[in-house]
Amino acid sequence: MTLETVSSWRSHGGTQGVYRHASSETHTDMTFSVFVPDHLPEGRLPIVWYLSGLTCNHSNVTEKGEYRAACAELGLIFIAPDTSPRGDNVPDDEAYDFGQGAGFYVDATQDPWSANFRMRSYIEKELPALIAANFPADMSRQAIMGHSMGGHGALTIALRNPDRFKSVSAFAPISAPLHCPWGEKALGGYLGPNRDDWREYDACALIEDGARVAEILVDQGGGDNFLETQLKPHLLSRACDDAGIALTLRMEPVYDHSYYFISSFMADHLRWHAARLI
């Protein structure tokens, strides 16, 4: 797969790059960012995947996430994909919570979305192969994290692939998409009306159906205006308690849903992941 370098910058003793390639899954060009700390020429570094939320692309966390200093210190590659396929020929919706910018990390089965909206396969299969071929990545040491819709993506991808990821964390994740307006709209639109087909894209349902990871770290802002209607971390807490999964749910008073919140706890999450990627 041909990889185009869009930009490359020196930062915190490493290289922050933005890259573009033609995706065989989404049938569009896809753009993503990668930070690689300085390392020995033959060295291979562990990876942290970061999945962004509604309306975002790779640039939001790249510009606002404040992760580079911690990644350089800890020796972590940080990868930030886009949230959906994009382009003039890609179907879209006028609402912010569906269509371009809102791929929900699913493989859509409904027209017209099914031709391009294959973010599950893109994140789980295509992009990892591209990373392995082009970056000094130790694919045996991978962690995943995300925010909001991306927190939903990180949790569900980790639960479906427990042998791939050594750790998973999230900032304000959509914990139970089957039971919130964002999730019902996205899963119904991309997957159709059969709610049984939605369960593999809901962290709580996956846990109820037997999926397991050893532990999960979640930070949630107490001042988040989406907390009660969309995020519902109490449902994730209940599912983890019932399944014996060690969930650390930290309610952070006053913090909201923004990157001011995310950047405040980013280094904590990266250190938590680094300790599990040894």
* 3-state secondary structure labels for all residues of 94-136: CCCCCECCECCCCECCCCCHHHCCEHHHHHHHHHHHHHHHHCC
**Residue showing tokens 């397991």:** 212
- Catalytic choice (82, 107, 202, 224): 224
Q: What is the pLDDT along the chain (278 residues), one digit of tens a residue?
A: 689 999 999 999 999 999 999 999 999 999 999 999 999 999 999 999 999 999 999 999 999 999 999 999 999 999 999 999 999 999 999 999 999 999 999 999 999 999 999 999 999 999 999 999 999 999 999 999 999 999 999 999 999 999 999 999 999 999 999 999 999 999 999 999 999 999 999 999 999 999 999 999 999 999 999 999 999 999 999 999 999 999 999 999 999 999 999 999 999 999 999 999 99
- Residue 224 annotated in active site: yes
The residue type found at 154 is: A
The two three-digit tokens of residue 216, written as one number: 């999960």
How many C-beta atoms surround the C-beta of residue 20 within 10 A? 14
Closest CA to 83 of 99, 95, 65, 64: 99
Note whether 154 and 49 are within 8 A (CB).
Answer: yes
Cα dihedral sign, 146-207-116-21: positive
What is the amino acid identity at position 63? E
Supply the DSSP string of 164-206, one letter for each residue: TEEEEEEES----GGGSHHHHHHHHHHH-S-GGGGGGG-HHHH
Cα–Cα–Cα angle for 109, 170, 100, rounded to 5 degrees: 35
Under DSSP, the state recorded for 52 is -
Which of the following is catalytic: 58, 257, 269, 273?
257
Q: What angle do CA 185, 175, 27 make, to 5 degrees?
A: 55
Can you name the CATH fold of 3-275?
A: Rossmann fold (3.40.50)
Q: Which of 84, 148, 167, 175 is catalytic?
A: 148
For position 16, what pLDDT does the model report? 98
Report whether 180 contacts 174 (CB < 8 A). yes
Q: Say if residues 40 and 139 touch (Cβ distance below 8 Å).
A: no
14-22 sheet: strands from edge to edge: 4-11, 14-22, 29-37, 77-80, 45-51, 137-147, 165-171, 215-221, 246-252
Give the start-to-end residue ranges of the domains of the chain. Answer: 3-275
> Does residue 58 carry a catalytic annotation?
no
Q: Tell me the two tokens of residue 166.
A: 């050594």
In sequence order, which residues have a C-beta less than 8 Å from that of residue 111 and are 6 or more positions away? none
